[in-house]
């Protein structure tokens, strides 16, 4: 031991007889001497029963405790001196920046990372906080030696020496890159939601304006030609409204896994022709030049849901028509692309797709920059629907474009099935066969709380030869049904006073006519669980609004006398 150091040994011999009181006195005296020496700082260690206890001052113990806690922290902790040289870093800091402590200690802070402020004025604010309060907390960007940039949240505190002078800073640094990404994703989703709602309002108003104008034309001008023009306008715009709503519902159903494909052998030629019928009015509106290249029938046969396959192609064609200025060019083709695969392509000469948009063009609600000129609007759901439906068919879809105003090409690849000698059934769009008719003896009660909806349906059925009545709430429906005992009831589900489901149950409880009456549900809800509810309530059929009148008449036609 060095001079001035004192080593105290307290050795208690418990052997041999002796006066107990004397031994106790000696022990107490030795303990008092030891305590005095400890208080005076003269003792560094004690040996008790051959065990060595090293004593440290309170400050030393606290410092050691702090070091142990810091070393175990998940956040990076870095200390630097006034010359911006690293004097300490914990294991978390070494892992976060990929630099061992041995390579960082004593070196400039830049050996760990380069510092980037996120906004102008942040540096001045941090400097002022450190000089006035001795601490600062905020976010910035650190670029590691590997080149990776991370967002961090730092708490920086000024360290002072024994004289109270600044001796450097201590920073506790947390990597918040994932949090920043999540916040950005939430903000982007919020922005896209707002854009979608604004676009939805716009797209719904677009067809409503010509419908209103057409109705005014029909009201003030009895000329038959004008009336026919007005009806044509209403039919076209109503079809656009139905298309918008159907796309929204389809996306929701597919996302929830509630759409099942009705697969059959389908000739791609039939699907393309059906899609052409659907998209031709929009293409004609834009006065586009349409070119179609198709193989002979029976050459490209796939196992698919014809309705959904037609929807895929029609959506791509509609997209091309919308994003192509007037008198543009649209080319639709179908061909074999290698063994076992069919290729359908829709090319246009439209506004194109910027390169940064290509990876997101199939995302829900994604749209090409509104600043680009386009003939029609859209909700940004058509292409998302295309991708989901193509994938459900075991295929894939891709978008290509050389950039803004250089057109686009959308390619769909689907697996072919081996020819079996069986020719797929030809499909063609059904045309309406409705004609005014004489009284056919069938009575129909139409129930809807929307008075216009109920009356227009009743008037249409009356023109076709049916005897009709209307009701606008559940209780009135039961009263009218009891008075007239119709052969069929077309019943909305969302009714005041009594729901359509309750009305159906009470009608079915009526002996005789209530058991025989044809109950047809008419609702805006068409999911599987909705159809199951109407089935359990006693309905014979379930139609989703707006009903296909031809299909409704087909059901009612079974009642003709």
Question: Can you read off the two tokens belonging to residue 420?
Answer: 């079996």
Whether domain 186-255 has CATH 3.30.310.50: the reply is no
Q: Contact, 202 vs 224, CB < 8 A?
A: no
Residues β-bridged to residue 79: 88, 170
Q: Of 368, 347, 282, which Cα lies nearest the Cα of 321?
A: 282
The domain spans of the chain are 6-55, 72-175, 186-255, 264-415, 443-559
User: pLDDT at position 150, please?
Assistant: 92
Q: How far apart are CA 504 and CA 537, in angstroms?
A: 6
Asked if residue 475 has pLDDT above 90, the reply is yes
- What 307-310 contacts at long range (C-beta under 8 Å, 24+ apart), as own/partner pairs, is 307/262, 308/261, 308/389, 308/392, 308/393, 309/266, 309/268, 309/271, 309/389, 309/393, 310/271, 310/274, 310/275, 310/278
Concatenated DSSP letters of 197-211: HHHHHHHHHHHHHHH
Q: Contact, 288 vs 328, CB < 8 A?
A: yes
Asked if residue 151 has pLDDT above 90, the reply is yes
Q: How far apart are CA 323 and CA 407, in angstroms?
A: 9
User: pLDDT at position 61, please?
Assistant: 38
User: pLDDT at position 8, please?
Assistant: 38
User: pLDDT at position 203, please?
Assistant: 64
User: Domain 72-175 is in which class?
Assistant: alpha beta
Q: Of 102, 77, 100, which Cα lies nearest the Cα of 90?
A: 77
pLDDT level of residue 503 (50, 70, 90 thresholds): very high
Q: How far apart are CA 362 and CA 366, in angstroms?
A: 7
User: pLDDT at position 1, please?
Assistant: 40
CATH of the domain spanning 264-415: 3.30.565.10
User: pLDDT at position 277, please?
Assistant: 84
| Cα dist from 228 to 168, 233, 325, 452, whole Å | 86, 9, 29, 21
265-309: pLDDT as tens digits: 999 999 998 888 888 888 988 899 999 999 998 899 999 988 889
Of residues 208 and 38, the one with the higher pLDDT is 208
Question: Can you read off the two tokens belonging to residue 505?
Answer: 């149950």
95-145: pLDDT as tens digits: 899 888 888 888 998 888 988 888 888 888 888 888 899 889 999 999 998
User: pLDDT at position 56, please?
Assistant: 52
3-state secondary structure at position 12: coil
Looking at domain 443-559, what is its CATH homologous superfamily? Response regulator (3.40.50.2300)
Tell me whether strands 329-336 and 341-348 are parallel, antiparallel or unpaired: antiparallel
Length of the chain: 561
pLDDT level of residue 35 (50, 70, 90 thresholds): low
Asked if residue 52 has pLDDT above 60, the reply is no
Q: Residues with Cβ < 8 Å from 66, sequence gap 6 or more?
A: none
pTM of the predicted structure, to 2 decimals: 0.46
345-378: pLDDT as tens digits: 999 999 898 888 888 888 765 655 433 334 344 5
> 133-146 as b/e, with b when 16 or more CB fall inside 10 Å?
eeebebbbbbeeee
User: pLDDT at position 70, please?
Assistant: 60
442-451: pLDDT as tens digits: 899 999 988 8
Q: Residues with Cβ < 8 Å from 188, sequence gap 6 or more?
A: none
pLDDT level of residue 434 (50, 70, 90 thresholds): low
User: pLDDT at position 23, please?
Assistant: 57
Question: Can you read off the two tokens belonging to residue 57?
Answer: 């001052």
Concatenated DSSP letters of 120-167: TTHHHHHHHHHHHTSEEEEEEEEEETTS-EEEEEEEEEEEE-TTS-EE
What sign does the CA torsion over 545, 549, 551, 552 have? Answer: positive
Asked if residue 13 has pLDDT above 50, the reply is no
Angle between helices 306-322 and 382-392 (to 10 degrees): 150
Asked if residue 37 has pLDDT above 70, the reply is no
Sheet hosting strand 329-336, strand order edge to edge:
289-293, 329-336, 341-348, 408-415, 396-400
What's the angle, vertex CA 366, arms to CA 361 and CA 370, rounded to 5?
105
User: pLDDT at position 465, please?
Assistant: 87
Of residues 37 and 210, the one with the higher pLDDT is 210
């Amino acid at each position: 031991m060095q001079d001035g150091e004192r080593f105290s040994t307290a050795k208690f011999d418990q052997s041999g007889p002796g006066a107990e009181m004397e031994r106790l006195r000696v022990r107490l005296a030795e303990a008092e001497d030891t305590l005095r020496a400890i208080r005076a700082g003269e003792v560094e260690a004690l040996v008790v029963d051959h065990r060595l206890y090293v004593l440290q001052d309170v400050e030393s113990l606290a410092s050691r405790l702090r070091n142990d806690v810091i070393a175990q922290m998940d956040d990076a902790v870095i200390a630097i001196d006034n010359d911006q040289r690293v004097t300490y870093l914990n294991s978390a800091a070494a892992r976060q920046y990929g630099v061992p402590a041995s390579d960082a200690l004593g070196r400039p802070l830049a050996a760990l990372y380069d510092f980037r402020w996120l906004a102008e004025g942040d540096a001045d604010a941090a400097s002022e906080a450190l000089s006035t309060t001795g601490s600062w907390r905020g976010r910035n960007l650190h670029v590691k030696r590997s080149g990776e940039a991370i967002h961090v949240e730092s708490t920086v505190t000024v360290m002072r020496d024994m004289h109270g002078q600044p001796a450097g800073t201590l920073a506790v640094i947390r990597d918040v890159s994932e949090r920043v990404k999540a916040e950005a994703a939430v903000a982007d989703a919020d922005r896209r939601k707002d854009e979608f709602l604004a676009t939805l309002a716009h797209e719904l108003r677009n067809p409503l304006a010509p419908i209103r104008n057409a109705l005014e034309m029909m009201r003030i001008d009895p000329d038959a030609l004008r009336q026919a023009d007005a009806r044509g306008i209403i039919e076209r715009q109503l079809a656009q409204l139905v298309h918008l709503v159907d796309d929204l519902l389809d996306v929701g159903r597919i996302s929830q896994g509630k759409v099942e494909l009705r697969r059959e052998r389908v000739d791609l030629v039939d699907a393309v022709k059906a899609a052409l019928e659907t998209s031709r009015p929009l293409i004609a509106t834009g006065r586009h030049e349409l070119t179609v290249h198709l193989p002979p029938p029976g050459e490209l046969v796939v196992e698919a849901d014809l309705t959904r396959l037609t929807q895929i192609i029609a959506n791509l064609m509609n997209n091309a028509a919308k994003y192509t200025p007037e008198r543009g060019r649209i080319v639709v083709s179908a061909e074999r692309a290698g063994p076992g695969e069919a290729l359908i392509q829709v090319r246009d000469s439209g506004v194109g797709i910027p390169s940064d948009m290509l990876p997101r063009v199939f995302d829900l609600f994604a749209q090409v920059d509104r600043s680009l000129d386009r003939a029609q609007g859209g909700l940004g759901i058509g292409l998302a629907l295309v991708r989901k439906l193509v994938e459900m068919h075991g295929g894939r879809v891709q978008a290509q474009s050389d950039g803004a105003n250089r057109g686009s090409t959308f390619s769909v690849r689907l697996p072919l099935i081996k020819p079996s000698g069986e020719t797929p059934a030809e499909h063609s769009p059904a045309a309406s066969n409705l004609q005014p008719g004489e009284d056919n003896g069938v009575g129909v009660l139409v129930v809807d709380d929307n008075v216009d909806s109920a009356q227009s349906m009743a008037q249409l059925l009356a023109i076709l030869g049916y005897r009709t009545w209307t009701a606008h709430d559940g209780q009135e429906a039961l009263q009218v049904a009891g008075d007239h005992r119709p052969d069929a009831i077309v019943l909305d589900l969302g009714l005041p006073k009594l729901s359509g489901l309750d009305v159906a149950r009470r009608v079915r409880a009526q002996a005789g006519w209530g058991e025989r009456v044809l109950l047809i549900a008419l609702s805006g809800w068409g999911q599987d669980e909705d159809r199951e509810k109407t089935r359990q309530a006693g309905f014979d059929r379930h139609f989703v609004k707006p009903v296909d009148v031809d299909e409704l008449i087909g059901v009612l036609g079974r009642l003709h006398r």
